[in-house]
Amino acid sequence: MFHKEGSKIIAIALGLFTVGLLSANRFIEQQWLFYAIAAVLITLLVLILQFFRNPARIAPNDPSKIVSPVDGKVVVIEEVYEPEYFKDKRLQVSVFMSPLNVHVTRYPGGGNVTYSKYHPGKYLVAWHPKASTENERSTVVVKTEKFGEIMHRQIAGALAKRIVNYADVGQEVGQGSESGFIKFGSRVDIYLPIGTKIDVALNQKVKGASSIIASM
C-alpha cells in the first residue's frame, strides 16, 4: 500500500520510467548501455515506491503507553526547555528518519488535539541542534488521558521540502492514527512530562505506532 501523499509523484515517476525505458530501447544500440540505463531507472523507481509505502500498523491503544510516531532511529533523549507551547521543561525524545524509512507520522497517544501550528523555516540537516527551532516544522499537542498534554513536532530535513499536518484543534484522535507526512528525510521530536519512564535507548531503531517510547 502506498500513501496518498505520494500518488502524484508516483504517477510522474512511472511515466518518466516508461518514457525513459522506451526511448533507451529505441535509440541506444549498445546492449550493455541499455541495461545500465534500465538498471538506474528501475532503482530510482523502487526508491520512490519504497519512500511512499504505507504499511498497516496496529497501535496498542493503551493510554498508559506512548508509541513512536515514526519509523527511524532514536537520536535524542534529554531534558529540555520547550519554548513554543509548554514554556517549561520537558523530556524530549527525537527519532531520525532516513529517506528509506516509512515517513507517515502517527499520533503517539490518543486524545483531543489542543494545538496545531505550522512554521516555515530553514532546511538544516535533521540532526542539527537548531533544527527543532529553525527548520520548517509543524507542532501538534494532544491532551491524553494519562500523560496530560504531549507534543510531537515534525521537522523538515535537508531534503524535506514539504511537511503535511492533518491535525485540527478540537479533533479527537486515536493512538497510532495518521497525523501527517514528511517528504524526503526528516525527524520527529516528542515532548513528554518530566518523570515519564522512557522505554527506548539512544540509537535504538523504532517503528511508528508499534514501538513503545514511554510509559507511566
Q: Same domain, yes or no, for 32 and 83?
A: no
Task: State the Cα–Cα distance between residues 163 and 184, nearest whole angstrom.
Answer: 10
Q: Same domain, yes or no, for 125 and 177?
A: yes
User: What's the CA dihedral at 43, 54, 2, 170 to 10 degrees?
Assistant: -140
Q: Same domain, yes or no, for 206 and 124?
A: yes
Q: How many structural domains is the chain composed of?
A: 2
DSSP for residue 25: H
Q: Is 64 a catalytic residue?
A: no
60: in domain: no
* Domain range for 29: 4-51
Judge contact between 190 and 92, C-beta under 8 A: yes
How distant, in Å, are the alpha carbons of 64, 100, 165, 185 from that of 51?
Answer: 31, 6, 18, 9
Looking at this protein, which amino acid is placed at residue 195?
G
Of the residues 7, 186, 211, 215, which is catalytic?
Answer: 186
Q: Same domain, yes or no, for 35 and 126?
A: no
pLDDT tens, position by position, 38-83: 898 888 888 777 777 878 888 898 999 999 999 999 999 999 999 9
pLDDT at 158 over 90: no
135: in domain: yes
The structure's pTM equals: 0.83
